Structure 1
């Protein structure tokens, strides 16, 4: 690549929340050229109007990927929405990694999760470990962004806890380095445009790790109502969620994340967001204060 060449940046899953936000950030920064891939190109007509090249890519149909990835220098591989379908998700990701290498992509940025190795009880961990292994076995440079649990998961759960006066979890005394989707998107966009060409693993986290007791205290402080943290055994939480009518795969994800937290696997806090973007990540307390109406169940303006 010549010194004057502007790297062509490709974002997969561009119709999703993360993909759309990353492309918005890239456009705001006047980075690019930008390629956006999706199963539904018509849904990205607004980006086409802004100069983004939109291409169809279906990870379940590897034959669509060579044309979709052609000409890309750096590629953001956003983990797919086949959550709870591990075999399918792994096939999707491995097809994308192979296609990226075949297309001559020099660097892949991948959205993973903390500590995805065999010690993790998280039901999604094998998907991410297999993808990281495929990147390690490739000839490309890569950046694995191990995104911690999204802070956006908290307002709904804490609103329910405020109503009941109790926050029920199977995370014991374990802590989680919650991080907002916005900070994850900013980190991904920054890693995609960065000149880094080697191989690295970065834990993408908020500025603090919080326990269930910490969350209950925040909920109580914001609402003015007493909220107590009640740790439960995983089997009891699983049965409670089953009785609440949640689907089995969703229950598996929820309980397995709590089990990982109890084991300390999500108690990870780094400066990676600030290192990549130049801006500190948002604390949980600030995010919850901004979403106070959700916690209190009041109509949002």
Structure 2
């Protein structure tokens, strides 16, 4: 049995629908679970180890979609991994992030590194899918005034579509033994500056390179907690540092088709 966690989300939902009825969907709210004929539905919060263990019992392979961004996300992930081990899961496919490392510029990439380390230590078989920034979300970075603002300078990011990540994940889930112990960098076919991103989005959108100080100041109006603002700003500084610019062929190698460019994504008939 394959279990897909986060099945109500954009990525988990894509994977669940492609896999079809031979799956169990792990969700927080059963009412929001995708309607997939033959699929089972289990309800559990990542932090609820007992519920997760019960939901995963009997599963051999699990797609572990990273939890929502919260200050205790690593603790939630550790609880999930420990429950998976207790349930007898043989292989975890974890959606990590490009450049995951203890000193990564992007603060949340450090969370992913900590999770990877806990999975390694658990003894469960694993595959890590280190996703670059989601190309699908780039239009959401555009402000009401048509400007993308952030301290990314002239740095580049090899942004990747969620459909491509889903296709890569499915290839691993269907043949986990072939991918045991491997880490894949899932990227688009090219690395783009945010000025190039703005041009591709079109409609007069432009990019303004903020200073780090200005980036923090311009986000004060959201009254978000400091850890969250740090994450927002460090998304851009990671680009500036060159930590998201490497282009990989792993999407094509896993999915069997070329990675989708941002231009192709935005020009698709159902874009948006």
Cα deviation, residue 198, structure 1: 2.2
Encode CA deviations 1:110-160: one digit per residue, 9 max, x unaligned. Answer: 001011212212221222111100111122211110111011222233474
Closer, same or farther in 2 for the Cα pair 1:107/1:233, shift >3 Å? same
Residues 209-248 of structure 1 aligned to structure 2 (within 5 Å): 209-219=191-201, 222-223=202-203, 225=204, 228-243=206-221, 245=222, 247-248=224-225
1:95 corresponds to which of 79, 95, 107 = 79
Cα distance in 1 for residues equivalent to 2:108 and 2:75: 14
Aligned partner of 1:65 in structure 2 is 52
Match of 1:179, SS state, is coil
Cα deviation, residue 288, structure 1: 2.8
Aligned length: 270
1:252 corresponds to which of 230, 233, 257 = 230
Cα distance in 2 for residues equivalent to 1:112 and 1:140: 16
Cα distance in 1 for residues equivalent to 2:34 and 2:206: 48
Cα distance in 1 for residues equivalent to 2:98 and 2:128: 10
Cα deviation, residue 250, structure 1: 4.2
Closer, same or farther in 2 for the Cα pair 1:71/1:259, shift >3 Å? same
Closer, same or farther in 2 for the Cα pair 1:53/1:159, shift >3 Å? same
Aligned partner of 2:61 in structure 1 is 74
The structure with the largest alpha-carbon Rg is 1
Match of 2:137, SS state, is helix
Closer, same or farther in 2 for the Cα pair 1:261/1:63, shift >3 Å? same
1:268 corresponds to which of 239, 246, 270 = 246
Closer, same or farther in 2 for the Cα pair 1:246/1:293, shift >3 Å? farther
Match of 1:210, SS state, is coil
Match of 1:35, SS state, is strand
Cα deviation, residue 174, structure 1: 0.9
1:109 aligns with 2:93: yes
Closer, same or farther in 2 for the Cα pair 1:45/1:188, shift >3 Å? closer
Tell me if the contact between 2:215 and 2:233 (Cα under 8 Å) persists in the aligned partners: yes
Cα distance in 1 for residues equivalent to 2:133 and 2:105: 15
Closer, same or farther in 2 for the Cα pair 1:228/1:95, shift >3 Å? closer
Cα deviation, residue 265, structure 1: 0.8
Cα deviation, residue 84, structure 1: 3.4
Match of 1:230, SS state, is strand
Cα deviation, residue 14, structure 1: 1.7
Tell me if the contact between 2:47 and 2:77 (Cα under 8 Å) persists in the aligned partners: no
Encode CA deviations 1:198-247: one digit per residue, 9 max, x unaligned. Answer: 2011111111110123223334xx33x4x55432211111111224x352
Cα deviation, residue 167, structure 1: 3.9
Aligned partner of 2:40 in structure 1 is 53
Question: C-alpha root-mean-square deviation of aligned residues, in Å?
Answer: 2.2
Cα deviation, residue 46, structure 1: 2.0
Cα distance in 1 for residues equivalent to 2:143 and 2:109: 28
Cα distance in 1 for residues equivalent to 2:271 and 2:122: 47
Give unpaired runs (5+ residues) of structure 2: none
TM-score when normalising by structure 2 = 0.90
